[in-house]
Structure 1
Amino acid sequence: MNSWPIWSLPVRVRALVVTVVLAATAVLVADSVSARVTFHDMRSCLVLVGLGIVAAEMGRQVERRRRRFADTPHVNFSSVWTLAAALILPGVLAFAVVVVLYLHLWLRSWRGISGIHMHRTLFSACNVILSCHIAAWCARGLLVVPIGPDRGVFSLLGAASVVAVYFTVNSVVVGTVIRLSSGKCSRRRLIGRADENLLELATLCMGVVAAALLTLAPWLAAFLFFPLYALHRSALVRQFEQAATRDPKTGVLNVASWRALAESELRRAQKVGGNLSLLLINVDQFALVNVVHGEVVGDRVLKAAGAAISSVVRNKDLCGRLGGDEFVVMLPGCSGEQVLSIAHRIRESVATIDARSTSEQSIQITVSIGAAASPAAGTDLDDLLRAADNALFAAKDGGRNRVVIG
């Protein structure tokens, strides 16, 4: 039992997992006591389970590929059927739908994939159960259920509120686990990527549609399969694009993608006569970290540094890794004091990293930064990189953990 993967989690994470599982169990017991299940409810439950399994089988190979690429909270598209169950079924049957669909996903799609453990699937299922329960409570309070005559804009606002509640509860629980597992982490890491969040919202909206169709015109629910499958495949394409353009160790742009985007951004700035700056960032004494603590810890330091840099720069800035311990950031529309301010925020953000060796010894990480601006330092990307590199050398020569503008 002590060899189970769950025991490798920090104590506070295990405590949260157990709390969520116990809360879902308490919800099941409470729903079982008060449930009034009819034959129609049982039939609807079986239909939802069947639809969910058919949809999962249609996208099984896509799901396995997506799961192998997923490095963020994962959207598995079962939300379409779990939210629909929450809206049209008694709580105990909605619970059954979640359990059966997640058990099927584990047995058919997730089992055997490296890093995917049973306790994660159990935690996800219990999180969904709690999200369903709270969303159903909200739906009853807003008169969204039972689904019946259209109340116009009130029906729209009520359904939107139910989607928002489900999404918020689910995201808060997942974000809490990430926060407890990773310690200090960026807001972007906590809330996930925008495309993943939009994907989850899309599946929840389809869940509302599925509930309405199953209540008013059940056979029309079959038309959800193909748009759902297309959405599933489009998500896989985005993950392939992510894998092709991102550095696997740090999550920032790889050198080829960064250079292609930087060249395009530089041409755009020159065309409109705008400002553009570049920061070259080097982790101080990184070779010593590798020698003393090993490459595994070194990779951990690089990942933390990449996350710290990404958390400071703007969405339109281009953050990449040139190789080794060297990062680069292109800042469109920035010059002078603005560049200096961003560079110092990056330096301070990296300095707060709580890196640990394999023996849990604290490792202090700092960076030196060289900056260059176009057109003052050159109009060619290589000229800018050369100017920033000279400034970086001056920053290191001046004692490290500082910013120099070339």
Structure 2
Amino acid sequence: MISLVGGWLLWRLRPAAIAYVLVVQAVALALVVLVLLTSRSPLSHELVTFAMLAVTAGTVIVITSVSINVRRQIRRNPWTMHIAYLAAGILTLPPNLLVLLLLGPSLHGVLDGRPALHRWLFTTAATTIATLSARSVIGWEEPRWGPVLFVLAGAVLLLVRACLVAFGIRLRNPDAARQDVLGEPIDVLLGIVAASLGGLLAVAVSSEPSSALLAGPPLVLLDLASQLPQWRRSAQRDGKTGLANAAHWERLARSELDRAQSRAQPVSLLLLDLDHFKRVNDEIGHLAGDTVLAAVAMMLRSSVRRDDVVGRFGGEEFVVLLPGTEAEVACTVADRIRRSTAALSVPTRDTHGEHRELKDLTVSIGVATTFRFGYDLTDLLVAADAALLAAKSAGRNAVTLAS
């Protein structure tokens, strides 16, 4: 399970993240070896139970992977589906067969053809540690059954993996958004549903192993449900920057403006445009341009508050809504963004594959406030756009307040 560095982009991570990934994978590998060397030989009925669980899980994995590939969609981590049959395995199988059941997540990685293999191996290692931890709390050789232990095993399975993965994400990107680190509320709910399904499946296969086959359709539905946040975010987020796209940003902005108007609170709007961005695309390449956009988006998220609404309007234009902010503070925020942009150093490659370090990026920013233009979003955008044009005309790399 230990990632090879070459070609897997592992070397691009922060040193602390590289060390953490390797440690987690080494611990998982050591646990697997220990289990295989020390576990007793499985009994015949345990082999049958394993076969039924493995056939069901494998069939669902193949069907869902083929479906995703045929539709050319991007899959979110199918962890929710794996919870169900792994939870059943924790409750019914000896540790050595449970380890073999962990080949399911690895099979998903192969079928989905994930480009960052070190990430997939890391999450598989985290899954391995979480699964074996859950087994240890209910009895290593012979699991003890009972409602309390069912809940405890499910909680350990979910929490250990969540903590391992969240810590890795935070090390890789300290500025990552909270939902990127902890997941969304629906992820937690689906995890609980999956663990509960795994407990019911364990009860069923303990009396009749072939009943595992009946779990196929619910597992497929679980996988579809786990993709809902991805599909929703795809409709709401800009693919190159991860920020809200224009349509979603407008919905959020109008809602914030309505709330602020009802409370008589000020709101400011920043409209940003990267200066001479066309040169980057024309002289270095569009992939380099995409890298710059992603770097600017990350800088923007770290330069404003969590409740501020940041979006990409298309091309090299970004927009930020600042609730509860008057003109003076908004101009201070805009100038901080302007200076942060000028300080950016973006590593990328040109069209010849040669390494380039893009510096001297600048941005022009127009600022409009509700104090001057009211709470209508269109009016604010028009005013901010006029101020942006004034900043461009003044020589760029400037902040202008609409008046």
Structure-2 change in CA distance of 1:213 and 1:405 (3 Å):
farther
Cα RMSD after superposing both structures: 4.0
Q: Are the equivalent residues in 2 in contact too, given 1:75–1:196 (CA < 8 A)?
A: no
Aligned residue in 1 for 2:163: 168
Aligned-partner SS, 1:68: coil
How big is the shift at 1:49? 1.2
Alignment of 1:208-287 (within 5 A): 209-210=199-200, 213=203, 225-267=216-258, 269-270=260-261, 273-287=264-278
Aligned residue in 2 for 1:391: 387
Q: Are the equivalent residues in 2 in contact too, given 1:370–1:390 (CA < 8 A)?
A: yes
Residue 51 (structure 2) aligned to one of 27, 46, 52: 46
Q: Distance in 2 between the 1:403 and 1:199 partners? A: 45
Q: Distance in 2 between the 1:16 and 1:102 partners? A: 20
Q: Are the equivalent residues in 2 in contact too, given 1:355–1:364 (CA < 8 A)?
A: no
Structure-2 change in CA distance of 1:344 and 1:116 (3 Å):
same
Deviation by residue 1:145-197 (Cα, 9 ceiling, x = unmatched) = 8232344xx86456424421132124434555xx1xxx675344861642574
Q: Distance in 1 between the 2:27 and 2:385 partners? A: 55
Residue 29 (structure 2) aligned to one of 15, 20, 25: 25
Residue 69 (structure 1) aligned to one of 74, 85, 96: 74
| 1:9 matches 2:9 | yes
Q: Distance in 2 between the 1:209 and 1:261 partners? A: 40
Aligned residue in 2 for 1:335: 326
Q: Are the equivalent residues in 2 in contact too, given 1:135–1:166 (CA < 8 A)?
A: no
How big is the shift at 1:280? 0.8
Identity of aligned residues (%): 29
2:11 aligned partner, one-letter code: V
Residue 112 (structure 2) aligned to one of 102, 107, 110: 110
Structure-2 change in CA distance of 1:341 and 1:212 (3 Å):
farther
Deviation by residue 1:242-288 (Cα, 9 ceiling, x = unmatched) = 32333222222222333344345445544554433211122244234
Deviation by residue 1:320-378 (Cα, 9 ceiling, x = unmatched) = 22222110122344334553465455446545644113224252444333221114224
Aligned residue in 2 for 1:377: 373
Q: Distance in 2 between the 1:279 and 1:328 partners? A: 6
Q: Are the equivalent residues in 2 in contact too, given 1:135–1:162 (CA < 8 A)?
A: yes
Q: Are the equivalent residues in 2 in contact too, given 1:66–1:239 (CA < 8 A)?
A: no
How big is the shift at 1:140? 4.8
| Structure 2 gap segments, 5+ residues each | 350-354
Q: Distance in 2 between the 1:221 and 1:311 partners? A: 48
How big is the shift at 1:29? 1.8
The number of residue pairs the alignment matches comes to 388
Aligned residue in 2 for 1:80: 84
Residue 56 (structure 1) aligned to one of 46, 50, 61: 61
Deviation by residue 1:15-34 (Cα, 9 ceiling, x = unmatched) = 77665554433222211221
Aligned residue in 2 for 1:363: 359
Q: Distance in 1 between the 2:6 and 2:295 partners? A: 23
Aligned-partner SS, 1:357: strand
Q: Distance in 1 between the 2:77 and 2:398 partners? A: 35
Q: Distance in 2 between the 1:161 and 1:326 partners? A: 45
Bigger CA drift: 367-376 or 235-244?
235-244
Q: Distance in 1 between the 2:27 and 2:12 partners? A: 16
Structure-2 change in CA distance of 1:262 and 1:208 (3 Å):
same
1:326 aligned partner, one-letter code: E
Aligned-partner SS, 1:129: helix
Alignment of 1:341-352 (within 5 A): 342-343=333-334, 346-347=337-338, 350=341
1:160 aligned partner, one-letter code: A
Deviation by residue 1:199-226 (Cα, 9 ceiling, x = unmatched) = 6634663465357535766677667555
Aligned-partner SS, 2:102: helix
| 1:297 matches 2:299 | no
